[in-house]
Amino acid sequence: HVSTKPPPEPSPLRRAKFFQANMRILVTGGAGFIGSHLVDKLMQNEKNEVIVVDNYFTGSKDNLSQWIGNPRFELIRHDVTEPLFVEVDRIYHLACPASPIFYKYNPVKTIKTNVIGTLNMLGLAKRVGARILLTSTSEVYGDPLVHPQTEDYWGNVNPIGVRSCYDEGKRVAETLMYDYHRLHGIEIRIARIFNTYGPRMNLDDGRVVSNFLAQAIRDEPLTVQLPGTQTRSFCYVSDMVDGLTRLMEGEHTGPINMGNPGEFTMLELAETVKEMINPNVKIMTVENTPDDPRQRKPDITKAKELLGWEPKIKLNSGIPLMEEDFRKRLTISRK
Ligand code: NAD
Ligand code: UDP
Ligand code: UDP
Which pLDDT value is given to residue 205? Answer: 87
Which pLDDT value is given to residue 285? Answer: 96
- Residue 306, C-beta contacts closer than 8 angstroms, at least 6 positions apart: 250, 251, 252, 256
Q: Whose CA is nearest to atom 16 of ligand 3?
A: 208
- Residue 51, C-beta contacts closer than 8 angstroms, at least 6 positions apart: 24, 25, 26, 27, 73, 74, 75, 76, 86, 88
Alpha carbon of 287 to ligand 3 centroid (Å): 11
pLDDT at 15 over 80: no
pLDDT digits (tens, 9 = 90+) for 241-259: 999 999 999 999 999 999 9
In angstroms, the Cα distances linking 294 to 114, 129, 231 are: 25, 41, 6
Within 6 Å (CB) of ligand 2, which residues are found? 83-85, 119-120, 123-124, 126-127
pLDDT band at 20 (very low <50, low <70, confident <90, very high): very low
Alpha carbon of 208 to ligand 3 centroid (Å): 5
Which pLDDT value is given to residue 8? Answer: 52
- Residue 152, C-beta contacts closer than 8 angstroms, at least 6 positions apart: none
Q: Whose CA is nearest to atom 13 of ligand 1?
A: 95
9 or 274, which is more confident: 274
Which pLDDT value is given to residue 7? Answer: 54
- Ligand 2 atom nearest residue 85's Cα: 8
Which pLDDT value is given to residue 4? Answer: 62
Q: Whose CA is nearest to atom 17 of ligand 2?
A: 123
pLDDT digits (tens, 9 = 90+) for 108-161: 999 999 999 999 999 999 999 999 999 999 999 999 999 999 999 999 999 999
- Residue 224's DSSP bridge partners are 285
pLDDT at 19 over 50: no
Q: Whose CA is nearest to atom 1 of ligand 3?
A: 208
Alpha carbon of 286 to ligand 3 centroid (Å): 11
Please state, for a pLDDT cut of 90, what percent of the chain lies above it: 89
Find the catalytic residue in 166, 180, 197, 236.
166
pLDDT at 97 over 50: yes
Alpha carbon of 21 to ligand 3 centroid (Å): 41
- Ligand 1 atom nearest residue 235's Cα: 40
Which pLDDT value is given to residue 291? Answer: 82
Given a contact cutoff of 8 angstroms between Cβ atoms, the answer to whether 88 and 25 are in contact is: yes
User: What ligand has the least distance to the C-alpha of 195?
Assistant: 1
Rounded Cα gap, residues 97 and 110, in angstroms = 7
Rounded Cα gap, residues 139 and 167, in angstroms = 5
Question: Candidates 102, 220, 225, 260: which one to mutate for ligand 3, based on the most atoms within 8 Å of Cβ?
Answer: 225
Alpha carbon of 3 to ligand 1 centroid (Å): 57
Q: Whose CA is nearest to atom 22 of ligand 2?
A: 123
Alpha carbon of 73 to ligand 1 centroid (Å): 20
Q: What is the pTM of this model?
A: 0.93
Mark whether 153 is an active-site residue: no
User: What ligand has the least distance to the C-alpha of 28?
Assistant: 1
Q: Whose CA is nearest to atom 34 of ligand 1?
A: 98
Please work out whether the CB of residue 297 comes within 6 Å of at least one atom of ligand 3: no
pLDDT digits (tens, 9 = 90+) for 274-330: 999 999 999 999 999 888 888 899 999 999 999 999 999 999 999 999 999 999 999
* ipTM, 2 dp: 0.97
